Amino acid sequence: MFTVIIFIIVLGILVLVHEFGHFYVAKKAGMKVEEFGFGFPPRIFGIKRGETIYSINWIPFGGFVKVYGENGEDEDNPRSFASKPAGQRAKVIVAGVIMNLLLAVVFLTFGNA
């Protein structure tokens, strides 16, 4: 049972760090982030700070960042994902993986101390 609890905690940390990577880079690029969600909907709880809803959802295995325009809509809006150059869009997409790699380096560095 203890192993299952540790697994869920570690998975939660990985998901939060991964999604934070997308969130941070999107915000730095001037994109509108509509929601930062832990878990998958339906939503249990959400709080809106500024333009972003921070939510906790019922299905705890995963998470998401909803960036305005990520489905190609509203290319004329400068805060839309679709309006940004390909390089900025690529940075947002790979930011999650980069954050997981950085987290692995931190775990490996301090785990051997």
Helices 86-111, 2-28: inter-axial angle, 10-degree rounding: 140
CA-to-CA distance for 105 and 103, rounded, in angstroms?
5
- Around 93, how many Cα atoms within 13 Å sit in the side-chain half-sphere? 10
Residues designated catalytic:
19
